[in-house]
Amino acid sequence: MMASAGASLPLHDAKSTATTVLSAFRPARTQRTKTIALAIFGFLCLLLMLRSSSKRVGPDFWTQFPSRPPFPQRPEDARVVLPPRTDIDLNHTLPHDLDKPNPRLHVLVPALQGSRGVCRTFTSAMILGYPPPTMIGYGTESPGATDAERMVDRITRARNYLRDSVTVHDNDFVLMVDGLDTIFQLPPQVLIQRFQSIIRKNNQKLESKFGFVDVPGEKPGTPFERIPKYHQRVLFAASKTCFPGLRDDPGCASVPESSLPPDVYGWKTDDDEDTSYNRPRWLNPGAVIGQAADLRLIYDEVLREIGQHPNKTGDYQALTRLYGRQEVIRELERRRTVNGFKDWLYQMVGISDASNITGITLQLQAGHRYEYGIGVDFESQLFFNQMMSRKDVEWVKFNNITKMSMLQMQHGVPREHRLLLPQDIAALPNPFNQSRFAKESTMRPVWNATLDKLPNPNNHSWHNVPLMTNPHSASVPVLAHLNGDPKLRNAWWENMWFFPWGRALLRRYVRNAHGFDAAQSSLLGGQDWLEVRGGRGGLWTDQETWITLAEVCNGQERDLFDDGLGLWSKEIDDPEAPVYNQYGNLIGGKEDPNKDPNQDVPGFSPDFSF
C-alpha cells in the first residue's frame, strides 16, 4: 500500500538518500578544489619565474654608445607660432622688448639650377605661404663631376649651411626636400602641427618600450634628471621598398613595423612579390623635417659614412644604414633590461614589439653615436612617396558625400570608416581670401583684374577643392614626392587644387609681403613664418644671396601656369622694380633714383616709433 502524501520516510531510507546526495557532490567539489589548487600553483610558479627572470647582464648600450640628444628641448614642445601680440596696433608705438623667442622654419631645396621640377617645388611652396626657400648649391655645377662627387657636394653644402649660417639656430625647424620632384599641397602650419603631433605620440610609445634613465643636470652641481632613453626627433619620408641590395642590413631587416593595420591592403598586404601592397616602413631621403642641431648630427654621420666608402655609398644608402643601426642599438638595450620571461610570453601570444635582429652581423665601435632620433612617416601625413604608390591616392572633394562614402571601398580598405576633411585643414583660412587692400595697393605686383582673378571664397573652400588623399591611411599629405613614374608628373601637377589659379595665387603671396600685418610680424621677429632675412617672390642661396623667382624660372611658365599670360613678373610690371624685404632693405631690382630718402619704406607705417 502506498504511503499517504506528507508521510515521512523511514529513518534508514533518509540516511541512504543523504549519503547518495553527498556522494554525488563529492567528485564535483574535489575536482573544483583541484582546479583551484592548480591555478594557485600555476600563478605562484608564474610569479616565481617572473621574479627569477632577472634582467640580463650585459653592457649598458645607452651609456656605451652616446644617446643623449644635442640639446634637451623636445621638438614637440617648441612653440613655432606664437599668439598674436596685443600690445601693438596702427595707432600705438612698438614695445621695446622685440625678440623672436620661437624657432624659425627653414625650407632647404638642393638644386643646381632652375628646371620644371625645381620651379614647381618653389611655386607650390610660395603659393602656400612657406618662407622663401633656400637653394643649396645653386649655380655651382662643376662640368665633368661624377654623380658621386655631385652627391657629396650637395650633402656637404646642406650640412655646412646648417652649421655655419648665422640665420639658422639649433632649435630652428628645417624642412629639406628633393627639389626635382616635390609638390607642396598644404600650408606650413599644418606641416609643423602634424610633425609635432606624430613625434609626441611616438615618443609616448618609446617611453613605454624603453623606459627612462637618470642623467646629470645640464650644469655642474645640479641634481640628476630623469629623461626617456630614446626620443624621436626627426621624421623622414617612408617608402614601400628598402634600398636595393641591403636586404640583410639592419636598415632593411631591423626597422620597426608600420603603424598601419597589417591588412590595410587586404590579404596581399606586405606581399613580397608585389611591393605596391607593402605598408611603407623604410626610410626614403626625399623629404625630412627636424631641428637644425639634429639634422647636423645626421648629415655629419652621412658624410663620415660616405668618406669611408667612397664611390660605393650614397646618401640614401648611408641614411638607410644609420636608421638600421640605431634600431639595433635600441633593441639590444631593450633586451638587456626587459624581463626575459615576459618577453618570451609576449612573443608567444604575438604582441611583442621587439625588433628583428636575428642573423644580423654588425661591428659596433664603442663610444660612437648610433642614436639619431630618426623615425619615418608611416601614414604619409606629411610626406607621400609616389614610388610603388601611384594607385594609393586620389584627388577628391570632401563635400562630395557620395564619393567620400565609397572611396575606401573602391580601394579595398577592409575596415572602412567615415572620411572627413581633417580638422587641421578645416581650421585654415579660406585659400582664396584676398586682402581688402589688394586692389588699392600700389606695391608690386600691382593689382590687375585679369592676372589676379580668384574664385569667390563664398563658393570655394578647402571642402570643395580637389585634395590628394590616401584612403588607406585616411591622410591628406602635406607634400608629394613624385619619385615614381616621371610621365605622371605633369598630370599630378595639374591635379593640384591651386593649379587653375596658380599665377594669381603667387601674385597674392608676393603682394601680401606689404602692409601693416607683414610689417608688424617682421618687427616682432618674423613670428608669422617669415625668416629674419625676409623677402617674397624670390629665393635665398646657401651663400646668403637673394635671387628672384623670375631669374630662376622664367621660361617655365607653360609648365607652371599654362595660362598663356606670359613670363612671370613681366606680364605688365617693370622687371627692374625694386624689391624690399620686411626690414626695408633693397634685396632685388634697382633703387628708384628719384626716391625721396625720407619717404617711408614700403610696408612700414609712419606711426611706428622706437
Do the Cβ atoms of 432 and 457 come closer than 8 Å? yes
470: Cα separation from own chain's centroid: 16
Cα angle 81-84-89, degrees, rounded to a multiple of 5: 145
Give the H/E segment covering residue 345. Answer: helix 340-349
Q: What Å distances lie between residue 581 and 91, 514, 588, CA to CA?
A: 23, 9, 9
Exposed, middle or buried, 563 (CB in 10 Å: 0-12/13-18/19+)?
middle
Q: What integer is the mean pLDDT of 307-328?
A: 91
Q: What integer is the mean pLDDT of 470-494?
A: 96
Q: What Å distances lie between residue 311 and 308, 315, 343, CA to CA?
A: 10, 11, 42
Residue 237: HSE in the Cβ half-sphere, 13 Å Cα cutoff: 25
- Among 371-385, 414-428, 507-521, the minimum mean pLDDT is found in 507-521
Alpha-carbon gap, residue 266 to 262, rounded angstroms: 8
Using the 8-state DSSP alphabet, how is residue 470 labeled?
B
Report phi then psi at 498, rounded to 5: -90, -10
pLDDT(53) > 80: no
How confident is the model at residue 572, as a pLDDT? 64
Using the 8-state DSSP alphabet, how is residue 276 labeled?
G
472 falls in which pLDDT band (50, 70, 90)?
very high
How confident is the model at residue 454, as a pLDDT? 95
Q: Which three cell numbers, joined as nine digits, stand for 112?
A: 643646381
pLDDT(610) > 50: no
pLDDT(358) > 80: yes
Closest CA to 190 of 500, 464, 479, 497: 479
Collect all residues with Cβ–Cβ distance below 8 Å to 314 and sequence separation of at least 6. 148, 151, 306
Please state, for a pLDDT cut of 90, what percent of the chain lies above it: 57
What single letter denotes the amino acid at residue 61?
Answer: F
DSSP helix/strand/coil, 510: helix
Of residues 106 and 12, more confidence is placed in: 106
52 falls in which pLDDT band (50, 70, 90)?
very low
How confident is the model at residue 586, as a pLDDT? 62
How confident is the model at residue 321, as a pLDDT? 95
Q: Which three cell numbers, joined as nine digits, stand for 512?
A: 601680401
Q: For 11-39, what is each residue's pLDDT tens digit?
A: 344 444 444 433 443 555 577 777 776 77
Alpha-carbon gap, residue 149 to 436, rounded angstroms: 51
199: Cα separation from own chain's centroid: 9
How confident is the model at residue 2, as a pLDDT? 42
Percent of residues in the chain assigned helix, strand, coil, to nearest 5: 35, 10, 50
Q: What integer is the mean pLDDT of 483-497?
A: 96
Alpha-carbon gap, residue 424 to 191, rounded angstroms: 10
Q: What is the mean pLDDT of the chain?
A: 83
Do the Cβ atoms of 321 and 105 come closer than 8 Å? no
How confident is the model at residue 3, as a pLDDT? 43
Exposed, middle or buried, 170 (CB in 10 Å: 0-12/13-18/19+)?
middle
Do the Cβ atoms of 434 and 454 come closer than 8 Å? yes
Alpha-carbon gap, residue 158 to 408, rounded angstroms: 40
pLDDT(366) > 50: yes
pLDDT(608) > 50: no
- Among 100-114, 288-302, 439-453, the minimum mean pLDDT is found in 439-453
Please state, for a pLDDT cut of 70, what percent of the chain lies above it: 77
pTM of the model: 0.83
pLDDT(581) > 80: no
How confident is the model at residue 156, as a pLDDT? 96
2: Cα separation from own chain's centroid: 92
Alpha-carbon gap, residue 331 to 349, rounded angstroms: 19
Give the H/E segment covering residue 134. Answer: strand 134-136
Of residues 222 and 494, more confidence is placed in: 494
DSSP helix/strand/coil, 475: strand
Q: Which three cell numbers, joined as nine digits, stand for 20?
A: 547518495
Q: For 246-279, what is each residue's pLDDT tens digit?
A: 988 999 999 999 999 999 999 999 987 899 999 9
How confident is the model at residue 7, as a pLDDT? 41
Q: What Å distances lie between residue 433 and 235, 419, 428, 430, 475, CA to CA?
A: 32, 26, 11, 6, 25
Q: What integer is the mean pLDDT of 475-482?
A: 98
